[in-house]
């Protein structure tokens, strides 16, 4: 998966997108760890965060983004943090894990470096993907309300979709939400 992500990042952003390469290195193993152990280790999520900061710094230094894009990233990070932390607190940690609370804002801010639209796609698509899997599992009684389903892999796939999708597909996705 990492090799494919490297190729996709290179195809879309070129060799200089250091932060995206860091994200590619750490997200593929995070998918495995969350499915296998239901854990998103702090160290791995922290490296994703470092990659996000490196991405913003590099893009700013190379004059590919301005201060407004950095503000958008910070706002995206903050709002996503509040949303996921609220779910965590209201569900008393049973709705989502704290690793999801830490990972989701990083992925949304990574996508928001390009536009708020990509940030929104990252924010919502992971939840939609998880629902697409969970609903049939519930319908066919393969799981129940108390069965834990890892959210991290879906957040990661949603984040990568937001980062890599062509702009016309991002626009079509947003049109479904009347945005």
Distance (Å, rounded) from C-alpha 170 to C-alpha 167? 5
Q: Is the pLDDT score of 179 beyond 80?
A: no
Burial 52-73 (b: 16+ CB within 10 A, else e): bebbbebbeeeeebeeebbebb
pLDDT at site 16: 82
Distance (Å, rounded) from C-alpha 82 to C-alpha 12? 30
Q: What is the pLDDT of residues 148-178, one digit of tens each?
A: 889 999 999 999 999 999 999 999 999 988 7
Q: Which residue has the tokens 């940030």?
A: 119
Query: How much is the average pLDDT of 130-154?
Result: 91
Mean pLDDT, the chain, as a whole number? 93
The pTM (predicted TM-score) of the whole model is 0.94
Distance (Å, rounded) from C-alpha 54 to C-alpha 114? 15
Check residue 141 and report its DSSP letter.
T
pLDDT at site 145: 81
């Amino acid at each position: 998966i990492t090799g494919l992500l490297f190729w996709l990042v290179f195809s879309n952003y070129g060799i200089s997108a250091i932060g995206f390469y860091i994200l590619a290195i750490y997200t593929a193993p995070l998918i495995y760890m969350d499915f296998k152990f239901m854990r998103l280790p702090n160290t791995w999520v922290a490296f994703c965060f470092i990659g996000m900061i490196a991405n913003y710094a590099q893009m700013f230094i190379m004059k590919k983004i301005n201060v407004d894009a950095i503000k958008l990233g910070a706002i995206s990070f903050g709002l996503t943090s509040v949303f996921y932390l609220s779910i965590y607190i209201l569900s008393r940690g049973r709705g989502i894990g704290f690793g999801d609370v830490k990972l989701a804002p990083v992925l949304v801010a990574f996508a928001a470096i390009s536009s708020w639209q990509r940030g929104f796609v990252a924010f919502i698509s992971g939840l939609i993907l998880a629902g697409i899997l969970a609903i049939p599992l519930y319908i066919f009684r393969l799981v129940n309300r108390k069965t834990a389903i890892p959210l991290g892999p879906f957040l990661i796939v949603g984040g990568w979709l937001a980062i890599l999708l062509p702009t016309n597909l991002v626009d079509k996705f947003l049109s479904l939400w009347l945005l």
